[in-house]
Amino acid sequence: MARTFTLEVVTPDRRVFSEPVTFFSVRGAAGELGVLPGHIPLFTTLAPGLLHFKRDNGEQGVLTVMGGFLNVQPDRATVLAEVAERGEDLDEVRARAAKERAEAQLSRQHDVQSELALQRAILRLRAFEVLGMHARR
Ligand code: ATP
């Protein structure tokens, strides 16, 4: 069986990621889901979370995926998300500012938009922590 398969992450604006990988994991509707080459076909919704992947050379990476859908075929997996980012493309200062803004808003009044903004900012900051862990390995 092939060691790799193509992982694509697409948003309405652009193709965020398209590379051969040996493994990835995402937060599926029923919890964390890991996908290896030759996985049975699967279609599921995704919760906002981090997508961890591994390249054939052993390198690991991370993307943020703010919910969406996952379609797995034996040779290709596609994530469709409204918003997704490669970890290395994220602006940390912007994510910290977004977190502070959302927390300040939520301390005044609870609203769903700010809850979601806080969740996105926290995920982006977690992606930085993961990138830092990979860099230290
Ligand atoms: P902000 O308040 O900083 O705009 P947001 O959570 O409201 O953050 P989104 O609506 O989720 O932003 O995303 C809008 C666009 O900005 C998307 O294309 C997203 O990828 C990009 N984006 C948001 N935050 C960041 C970030 N910290 N670094 C890089 N791109 C970001």
Q: Write out the DSSP string of 82-130.
A: SSEEEGGG--HHHHHHHHHHHHHHHHH---HHHHHHHHHHHHHHHHHHH
- Mean pLDDT, residues 27-36: 93
- Tell me, using a 6 A CB cutoff, whether residue 83 lines ligand 1: yes
Closest atom of ligand 1 relative to the 101 alpha carbon: 2
Confidence of residue 137 (pLDDT cuts 50, 70, 90): low
Which of 69, 65, 72 has the alpha carbon at shortest distance from 17?
65
pLDDT computed for residue 1 by the predictor:
65
- Mean pLDDT, residues 69-96: 96
How many residues in the chain? 137
Closest atom of ligand 1 relative to the 84 alpha carbon: 20
- Tell me, using a 6 A CB cutoff, whether residue 120 lines ligand 1: yes
- Tell me, using a 6 A CB cutoff, whether residue 94 lines ligand 1: yes
**What's the CA gap between 106 and 114, in Å, rounded?**
6
How far does residue 70's CA lie from ligand 1's centre (Å)?
A: 21
How far does residue 84's CA lie from ligand 1's centre (Å)?
A: 9
pLDDT computed for residue 34 by the predictor:
97
DSSP state of 59: -
% of residues, the chain, pLDDT over 70: 99
- Mean pLDDT, residues 49-66: 97
Confidence of residue 132 (pLDDT cuts 50, 70, 90): confident
Closest atom of ligand 1 relative to the 13 alpha carbon: 18
Burial environment of residue 25 by CB neighbours within 10 A (0 to 12, 13 to 18, 19 or more) = middle
Confidence of residue 20 (pLDDT cuts 50, 70, 90): very high
How far does residue 91's CA lie from ligand 1's centre (Å)?
A: 9
> Which pTM was predicted?
0.95
**What's the CA gap between 21 and 58, in Å, rounded?**
9
**What's the CA gap between 21 and 90, in Å, rounded?**
21
**What radius of gyration, in Å, describes the C-alpha atoms of the chain?**
16
